[in-house]
C-alpha cells in the first residue's frame, strides 16, 4: 500500500522538477546566447542579425534537444503547426483568441509603462567582442530576413513547444489547469524579464501567456504556436516598418 501510494507522489515530483528544470534551462541558454554568443563571431551585416542568429541557436539547442530526447517527429509537428496557422488566418474558430490577444497587447503595455517604467535590472554581457563585419552591403536584407524568420516564425514555434507543449503540460498533470497555465505564464514572462533586463513587458507577456496557455490546453500547443506566430509576425513587420528594431 505504501509503495502504491508513493508512486503518484513520486510521479508528481518528477513532473514538477522536469518542468522547472526546463524553465531554468530556457532562461540560461537564451541569456548566454543573446548576451555572450552573439558577440563572438563576426558581425553578419549588423549586430541585430547576430542577435537573431543567437536566438536561432538557443532554440535549436532547446527545442531540438528536448525533441530529440522525447522522440518528437518534427515533420509531423510542423505540418500540424502549419495547419493550425491556416486555421488561424482563415477560420472563425480563432477569432476569439485573436481578439483577446490583440486587446491584451493594447491594454497591458499601458499598465506596464505606468508600473515598471522606472525599474531597470543589471545585465551581464560578454567583454569579448568581434569587430569584424561580413556582408555589410547586404545588412538591410539580412536584418529584415532574419528578423521575420527568427522572431516571427521560428521562435514562436520553439517557445510554444517548450512552454505550453512541455512545461505547462507537465504541470497540468499534477495541479489544476488554471494554476498550471498561470504558473507557466508567469515563468514565461520572468524569462523575458531576465533576458531583457527589464519589466517593461511583464504584465503583457503574462496576459499573452495565459491566452496561449488556454488555447494550448483546449486544443494543442500547435494552436498556441499558430497564435504566437500570427502576432509575432505582425509585430515584427510593424517594428521593421516603423524602424523600431
SS3 content of the chain, % helix, strand, coil (to 5): 80, 0, 15
pLDDT at 1: 45
> Residue 198 — very low, low, confident or very high, per pLDDT cuts 50/70/90?
very high
Q: Is residue 5 pLDDT above 70, yes or no? A: no
Average pLDDT over every residue of 27-36 = 97
pLDDT at 127: 94
Q: What is the pLDDT of residue 168?
A: 98
Q: Which residues contact 154 (CB under 8 A, 6 or more apart)?
A: 55, 56, 59
pLDDT at 16: 95
* pLDDT of residue 242 exceeding 90: no
pLDDT digits (tens, 9 = 90+) for 92-115: 999 999 999 999 999 999 999 999
Residue 166 has pLDDT above 90, yes or no: yes
pLDDT at 119: 84
Instruction: Report, as an integer, the average pLDDT of 120-129.
Output: 92
Q: What is the mean pLDDT of residues 66-78?
A: 96
- Total domains in the chain come to 1
- Domain span at residue 167 reads 2-242
Amino acid at each position: 500500500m505504501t509503495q502504491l501510494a508513493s508512486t503518484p507522489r513520486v510521479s508528481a515530483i518528477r513532473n514538477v522538477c522536469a518542468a522547472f528544470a526546463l524553465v531554468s534551462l530556457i532562461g540560461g541558454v537564451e541569456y548566454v546566447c543573446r548576451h555572450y554568443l552573439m558577440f563572438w563571431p563576426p558581425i553578419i551585416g549588423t549586430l541585430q542579425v547576430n542577435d537573431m542568429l543567437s536566438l536561432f541557436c538557443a532554440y535549436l539547442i532547446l527545442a531540438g534537444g528536448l525533441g530529440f530526447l522525447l522522440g518528437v517527429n518534427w515533420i509531423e509537428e510542423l505540418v500540424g503547426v502549419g495547419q493550425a496557422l491556416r486555421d488561424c488566418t482563415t477560420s472563425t474558430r480563432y477569432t476569439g483568441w485573436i481578439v483577446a490577444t490583440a486587446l491584451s497587447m493594447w491594454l497591458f503595455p499601458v499598465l506596464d509603462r505606468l508600473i515598471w517604467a522606472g525599474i531597470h535590472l543589471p545585465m551581464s554581457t560578454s567583454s569579448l567582442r568581434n569587430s569584424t563585419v561580413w556582408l555589410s552591403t547586404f545588412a538591410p536584407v539580412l536584418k529584415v530576413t532574419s528578423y521575420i524568420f527568427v522572431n516571427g516564425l521560428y521562435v514562436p514555434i520553439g517557445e510554444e513547444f517548450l512552454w505550453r507543449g512541455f512545461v505547462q503540460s507537465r504541470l497540468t498533470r499534477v495541479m489544476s489547469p488554471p494554476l498550471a497555465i498561470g504558473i507557466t505564464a508567469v515563468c514565461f514572462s520572468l524569462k523575458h524579464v531576465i533576458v531583457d533586463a527589464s519589466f517593461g513587458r511583464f504584465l503583457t507577456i503574462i496576459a499573452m501567456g495565459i491566452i496561449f496557455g488556454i488555447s494550448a490546453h483546449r486544443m494543442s500547443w500547435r494552436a498556441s504556436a499558430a497564435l504566437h506566430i500570427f502576432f509575432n509576425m505582425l509585430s515584427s513587420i510593424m517594428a521593421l516598418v516603423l524602424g523600431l528594431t
